[in-house]
Structures are given as structure tokens and as C-alpha cells.
Structure 1
Amino acid sequence: MQKLREIGVEPASRHGQNFLIDMNLVRMIISSADLGPQDVVLEIGTGTGSLTTLMAPEAGRVVTVEIDGHLYELASEQLLRFGNVTQLRCDALKNKNRFAPEVMDAVGDALADLPDSRLKLVANLPYNVATPILSNLLLCEHTPHTMVATIQKELADRLVAKPWSKDYGALSVWMQAQCTTEVVREMSPKVFWPMPKVTSAIVRIIVDPERRAAIPDLKFFHQWIKAIFLHRRKFLRANVVSALKQHATKEQVDVLLDEMEFAPDTRTEQLDIPTLLRFTEKVRALAPDWGL
């Protein structure tokens, strides 16, 4: 922390910057990712390069992205000696729903350079982009094998939440429908500089190809789940009628709910993932152009 101050590094709150200063936890992140020479690592938030310099000797390729010009230059001094590291100075996201094309292009090039390679996201994610990074990477042309990241504990709780719990929502369903999700370690604010006002956590998310293959239209599923969980405490019928208002009548919705054997007082928050997957396919058959 003192060293960072001495070299003039000041965290930018607009970028959600909190530097992880406990090196034991930095090493825990790397060990949780189980890196090897066949792995292409995507890191969002290079920071000072402390995580990057430890990953580079373990991984086949590392693509690391930093939006802050000062930090980009600082990390460059540490990373020049690694021939397998590609540094990008840009926003990792084009918008809240898409990665920046230059990021995906760099990842694609790195994967093409390594035969039989696999993509892993490993990062101390800036808090303000953690949700779109984790969520959107599952819709990209390069499917990750594993995602290991530090995020707010509140977000980690949502990733692993079960039906009827206060944290269960669209993100819980989206991630768990395709992946195994776990909280590796909770982290005190004291291990960051500056100290955030919230507790953080290291999460490990491993993509399950069979689960993904069981979802016929990932984009449709993603949009539909977000739509019906917009007001998750409301009765399911009200959410479905609202979401399908230009694509189905109330009578058609009632037939659909009857086919699923949903009770009139069913709420979105109580539905488990297998049920939601079946329900989504019935909706897609009724309104295939919904969400286009």
C-alpha cells in the first residue's frame, strides 16, 4: 500500500478499483484456477500487475485488460519480460451486454495460438463490472472453462443462491443452469486498499458442457429469465403476462401455466432450474420471436 502511494497510484472510484494487497489471497486465486500450459487466461483489471506476473509463468497465454492509463503503464514495466502476455488498454465491455470486440479478438488469437487450449477468466474484478463480466462471458463466442474471481460477497451469495432464498434471482439461474458455482473464500475489507465498505469473496465457476448443451437457445433463456425475475416476489402469472403482452393473450398464458401445473399463487422465486428450463422451452414454442 505504501509502495503504491510512493509511485503515485491512487485508486479511481469510478472504475471500482480496490487493490488486493494480501499476497496469500492472490496465490489462492491462482491455485483455485488450477492453471496449466494449455490455458488462456483472461484477466479484467490488470491493476499493478501483481496477479498477472504470478499467472504468466503458469499459463500458456494471458490477455490482461486495464482501463486506467496510469496503471496500464505501471503494469507494463512488470510484464515486458513475459512473452506470453498481451496487454490491452481499454474498457473490457462495449456496453453492459457485450464485451469489447478488441478483447474477444485478443482472446481468440491467443486460443488459436495454443492447440487444444481452454479459456479461463481469473481476475480481481472491479466491483462495478463484476456482474456483466461473469454473466456476458457465457454468451461470448469463446466459452470459458473456468471463472475464478474476487467479487462482492453480496454478488457471490446470488451466484450460489437456491429457490425461495432472498438472493435467488435471474443471475443465480443463469449461472447455475450452466455451471457449478462455489464460494472459495470470504475476504475482509482489510485485505484491500482502499478498504471497501463491503465484504468480498473468491468464487470459482466451472462451466458444465452438458448443462449448456441442454439449453437449446442460450440467448432466449438469458433474456426470458431476466424478464420474469424482474419482479421475482410477484405472482408468476403477472410476470409472464407482462413479459408476453405483445406476443400472447392472457388466455394463452393461462393455458401455458396449466400445462406446467403451476398453482395460481406460484411465485417466480420458488421455481428451480429444471422447471425454469422446461418452462422456457414452452414459452419459446409459443412465442419464438419474443425478445428479438
Structure 2
Amino acid sequence: MSEPVVAGRGKAALLGPAEVRELAERFGVRPTKQLGQNFVHDANTMRRIVATAGVGRDDIVLEVGPGLGSLTLAALDVVDRVIAVEIDPTLAQHLPETVAARAPELAERLTVVPMDAMKVTHADLPAEPTALVANLPYNVAVPVLLHLLAEFPSIRTTLVMVQLEVADRLAATPGGRIYGVPSVKAGFYGTVRRAGTVGRQIFWPVPQVESGLVRIDRFPESPWPQDDSFRQRVFAVADAAFAQRRKTLRAALASWAGSAPEAERRLVAAGIDPTARGETLDTAAFVRLAQQS
């Protein structure tokens, strides 16, 4: 990734509360819970997200759920290209004209892909993204995040805004109450950390939950295989281990391994105490365990 560019006041006229409402009214758009839509209307928060992502001029940013374009405009001020995936056909249709009106010199840097992010593949994008920077739809944030990390190994840096509880779970470390499947799976790709909190008042409508930022830096050289088959094996072990959190791994993994004795054999071979519980294992331990299957 290139040297980050400080997200200051650039060529794009970012959106504020009045502009967000005006655009929504003009396009006949009302935020819907079904699509997890809450539109951001604070320009400083958008600049902060782009700066925290550390993206630079040579980056190709993948954005999911751009909505009315608040984060899109901030990203275009800093990077060479933004590929915005938007499931709402009305929003997808109007985003290019908003960018053309508020950042005419940057409009050619934007590509809008009108589809469900959960179904996006390499064939749907015009270029390989180097970063994922997005205010993810909160109702599908984790599945979308994991799908994109798996589908696009070219994504080296991820900075996403999600529900605060989800942010905490993604960045949790072994041994805690909130450590679980999302923590293990996110950690399969790289280093995960919390990158700040975001207040409710920057959204319209104001959500009932607080929001948090999560940053994932993909391993420059992965310590384990990243192919689909191996990833699925690791994730299957994690799913089984946390399906019955209160049970020891010997018992929780019995169905996965075929029997409790076989689960114990694999655990011992992986250097893991069979009486331990899933929340005590880091991602590397689940990898070792998957390698025994």
C-alpha cells in the first residue's frame, strides 16, 4: 500500500446533515431497516475513517453500501479509485450524479456496482481492490466482511464501521466472554484491532446502537494456507467448538471428529488440552486442529 494521504479538505464537497436530507428527498429515498441503512452526515467522521484506513493515492478502495455518498466523497479525495457496491438500485443510480455534482474533478475515479455485496466476485469488479473501507450494513456486517476478505486476497487493509458490539467481538482476544466465531474467522486473515468509536448522532436516522471502527491488516505472508478448502476446514472447527461453548473441546468437537475419543486424539496431536474450551484458543490453535483432520 502506498504512503497514506492525510484526509484533509480536498476537491470534494462532503455531505452534511442538510445535504443528506436534501438528497434523500430529491431521490425519494427513506432509510430502511431491511437493508440496514443509516446515512452518515458528518464530514469530519468520514475524513477520520479514511485517514484511519491509511489508504493512499495508489489504492483501489472497495466500499460497500455507499448510500448517498458521504464516505465515497471522502475516499475519492484521497485514493485513485473507489468501487462502490450498492444493493439499492435507486441509490446506485444516483451516486454517480452526486459525485459529479460535488466532486466533478474526481467523478471518473468512481465505479458503481449495483448488486448484493454477498454475491460479489472477481468477475463483477473492474479491478482488484487493495482496501476495504466501508460503513457496512449492520444487519449483515460480519457475513459481508468475511465474504469479501475470502473473495479478494488483494485487500491488504480493511477499515469498517459496524455496530459497537460487533466491533468488540471481531477484535476480541481469547479468554474473554465475547471472544467467539467472528473473532477466530477475522483473525484467520490478519491482525484485527479496534480503531475507535463513533457516536449515534452522526447518523440519520439515529440508530439505537453505538458504532465502532475495526481495522484488519492482512498478513503480508500468511502463516497458514489461505485456499478455500483449508479455510473451510478451519472455520468448520471453530463453528463446532463454539456451538456448545460450555462444553469441553473433547465433547464439543465429538460430532466434528466423529467421536469424543477421536476429538481428543486430534486435540492432543495439535498440542491442545482436551478439557479446554473453545474461547481459550486463538486462531492459530484452530488452524493446528484443522490440520489434524
TM-score, normalized by length of structure 2?
0.82
After TM superposition, which residue ranges in structure 1, 4 or more long, deviate above 6 angstroms?
Answer: none
- Alpha-carbon contact 2:171-2:183 (below 8 Å) kept: yes
Determine if contact 2:249/2:276 at 8 Å carries over to the other structure. Answer: yes
The residue that corresponds to 2:10 in the other structure is none
Query: In structure 2, do the counterparts of structure 1 residues 142 and 254 end up closer, same or farther at CA, with 3 Å as the change threshold?
Result: closer
Stretches of structure 1 lacking an aligned partner (at least 5 in a row): 95-99, 112-117, 284-292
Aligned-partner Cα distance in 2 for 1:140–1:263: 34
Q: Please state if 1:124 is matched with 2:135.
A: yes
Structure-2 change in CA distance of 1:255 and 1:41 (3 Å): same
CA deviation digits over 1:230-275, x for unaligned, max 9? 2223211122112233xxx443233223434544532111123332
For residue 238 of structure 2, the aligned residue among 225, 229, 232 is 225
The corresponding residue for 2:13 is: none
Per-residue displacement from partner, 1:199-233 (whole Å, max 9, x unpaired)? 10112111013235456722321232223222223
Partner of 1:271 in structure 2? 281
Mapped to 2, the partners of 1:261 and 1:119 lie a distance apart of 36
> Take 2:109 and 2:55, find their aligned partners in 1: how far apart are those partners?
14
- Corresponding position: 1:105 with 2:123: yes
Question: Matched residues, percent identical?
Answer: 35
In the alignment, which residue of structure 1 is the partner of 2:110?
85
Paired residues for 1:173-212 under 5 Å? 173-212=184-223
What is the deviation of 1:2?
4.2
Q: 1:11 aligns with which of 8, 17, 31?
A: 31
Give the secondary-structure state (helix, strand or coil) at the position aligned to 2:193.
Answer: strand
Change (3 A) 1:238 1:34: same
Task: Note the C-alpha offset of 1:3.
Answer: 4.0
Aligned partner of 2:159 among 137, 148, 172? 148
CA deviations 1:72-99 (Å, max 9, x no partner) are 23322123441121112221113xxxxx
- Note the aligned Cα RMSD (angstroms): 2.2
Q: Relative to 1, partners in 2 of residues 1:260 and 1:86: Cα closer, same or farther, differing over 3 Å?
A: closer
Unaligned runs of 5+ in 2: 1-16
Task: Give the conservation status (yes or no) of the 8 Å contact 1:16–1:126.
Answer: yes
More strand by share: 1
